[in-house]
Amino acid sequence: MKTIHIAKPGEIALVDTKKPEVGPGEALLKIRVVGICGADVASYTGNQPFTTYPRIPGHEFSAEIVTLPENYEGELKPGDVVTANPYFNCGTCYSCRRGHVNCCHDNQTMGVQRDGSFCEYVTMPVERIYSGKGLTAEQLAMIEPFSIGWHALSRAEVKRTMKTIHIAKPGEIALVDTKKPEVGPGEALLKIRVVGICGADVASYTGNQPFTTYPRIPGHEFSAEIVTLPENYEGELKPGDVVTANPYFNCGTCYSCRRGHVNCCHDNQTMGVQRDGSFCEYVTMPVERIYSGKGLTAEQLAMIEPFSIGWHALSRAEVKPTDKVLVIGAGPIGLFALISAKRYGAEVYVADILDGRLEKALAFGADGTVNTKTTDLAEYTKQVTDGGFDVCVEACGAPETFLGCIDSCAFAGNIILIGNGKRDTTFLHSIILKKELNVYGSRNSLPKDFKELIDYVASGAVDLSKMVSAIYPMEEAADAFKALAHNDGSLSKVLIKISD
């Protein structure tokens, strides 16, 4: 048979050698593909310390079964494409007796201490042969080198935990170790890059978020790097892409979902609220929920979700260029509502009780601002409108601000509610009838909002960096939450950097 033969270091040739004779318990294998290992190269150059000469190299291989032992009763059959274990052990030394056959005292590896697979045929004890299970000859020839790394990593306790920001109960937040998530069917593994602290996260920390259950990993405003994608994925995303994702998990079967209103699913599970969120090193995500970042930075992408809240809310009412819009609440969500209203060409005014926030509103294009702690909102409304605001956006979640919207809204005007709260609001509902007000609730956002916003920010239409007040490292996340819980108006959007 034809054989690749190393007579001595540096001397390699294709020669004819005797076809092997099959011994008891052995199969005859016709070699299909052989990989050249670094050890084979070292045998050729003379730098492999264990090689003896002359030598037929090779131990990474696939083969076709020609014959099997006469009394063999296993699953293998002639014609099967297989691979085999090339490490021959003695079976009697102390290592072998303890099951450590890989480090037999008298180990004889094919191509090193004994002749190898760079030839047309080899014989092999049948118990050393492994079914290829449909893999190609090329794939099977790489199983042995793959097994080296696979075994090596099993020798040490590889880190299976990750750093996580965890709220055990209201007021109790810490950086802890949790189990790294396991990837399910149709899911991507994402390495979190940057997470924004939402007002809902702060409310979860303080105990004022009506929908949060505990213990909880907060976070739903995030950017991430794709680590892995589903095996059969054929879309545009690829490992290494920096992306964002839709954090609102819907059931798909309720009346809202069946009508396409997935943002207000009856059993909505928002990351960081009803289910664990993104304040950790890794998350898994159904691939259809992931949106290409289109070149945006990790910081910009971490602000797409909060921006989408205002973006979606303003789409609930037909805002016109001639409209005057009032946004009550100049936190990040209110500021994003301001930006969203301005894109319609409307004249936008912002109310808050903190001057620092109102300065931010002016920086983002507000046509006017009012501090309702020092100025009566009703009087201000009279000064800047001719009968009230066409659209009022409530972005605080307080009874007083909802009532302010009712009072400040023009007859036949629109009220959009974004803010979440835990206090009841009492009012005479006849005023809504009298003014024929349209009151819109707005919850979460839709996939199209994410996609539109990524394109909008990528176009350069808005500079989101002006929204960021501080970026904390993950180790100081608890300090960031505490600072926002006692915010004097100087902080707008606070980001946490999880990884580079």
Looking at residue 158, what is its pLDDT? 63
Rounded-to-integer distance, Cα 438 and Cα 114, Å? 86
Q: Is 295 left (phi over 0), alpha (psi -120 to 50) or beta?
A: left
In contact, 285 and 185? CB cutoff 8 Å: no
In contact, 454 and 296? CB cutoff 8 Å: yes
Looking at residue 160, what is its pLDDT? 81
Residue pointed to by tokens 């042995």: 144
Residue ranges in the chain whose pLDDT is less than 70: 157-159
Pairing of strands 172-179, 269-270: unpaired
Q: Is 491 left (phi over 0), alpha (psi -120 to 50) or beta?
A: beta
Domain ranges of the chain: 2-154, 162-301+468-497, 317-441
* 208-222: burial string, b at 16+ Cβ within 10 Å, e else: bbeebeeebbbbbbb
Please give the CATH architecture assigned to the domain spanning 2-154.
Alpha-Beta Complex (3.90)
pLDDT digits (tens, 9 = 90+) for 341-389: 999 999 999 999 999 999 999 999 999 999 999 999 999 999 999 999 9
How far CA 86 is from CA of 61, 96, 138, 416, in Å, comes to: 9, 16, 17, 71
Rounded-to-integer distance, Cα 246 and Cα 13, Å? 60
In contact, 424 and 324? CB cutoff 8 Å: no
How far CA 376 is from CA of 329, 371, 372, in Å, comes to: 15, 8, 6
Looking at residue 170, what is its pLDDT? 95
Looking at residue 155, what is its pLDDT? 83
Please identify, in words, the CATH class of the domain defined by 317-441: alpha beta
How far CA 138 is from CA of 22, 151, 184, 418, 477, in Å, comes to: 25, 21, 28, 58, 49
Rounded-to-integer distance, Cα 264 and Cα 274, Å? 14
Rounded-to-integer distance, Cα 176 and Cα 180, Å? 12
Rounded-to-integer distance, Cα 197 and Cα 131, Å? 52
Token digits of residue 71: 């009394």
Which burial class, exposed, middle or buried, applies to 302 when counting CB atoms under 10 A from its CB (0-12, 13-18, 19+)? buried
Please give the CATH architecture assigned to the domain spanning 162-301+468-497.
Alpha-Beta Complex (3.90)
pTM above 0.75, yes or no: no
Q: For 475, how many CA atoms within 13 A lie in the half-sphere containing its CB?
A: 0
Confirm whether 2-154 and 162-301+468-497 share one CATH topology: yes
Residue pointed to by tokens 């190393």: 6
pLDDT digits (tens, 9 = 90+) for 12-32: 999 999 999 999 999 999 999
What contacts 58, CB < 8 A, 6 or more positions away? 4, 34, 36, 37, 40, 110, 111, 116, 117, 118, 119
Token digits of residue 39: 């050890």
Strands, sheet with 81-84, edge to edge from the N-terminal-most edge strand: 121-125, 26-35, 60-67, 81-84, 129-131
Rounded-to-integer distance, Cα 93 and Cα 95, Å? 6
Rounded-to-integer distance, Cα 293 and Cα 303, Å? 12
Residue pointed to by tokens 């270091």: 9
Element (H, E) at 161: strand 161-169
Looking at residue 157, what is its pLDDT? 62
Token digits of residue 285: 């995500």
Rounded-to-integer distance, Cα 115 and Cα 109, Å? 8
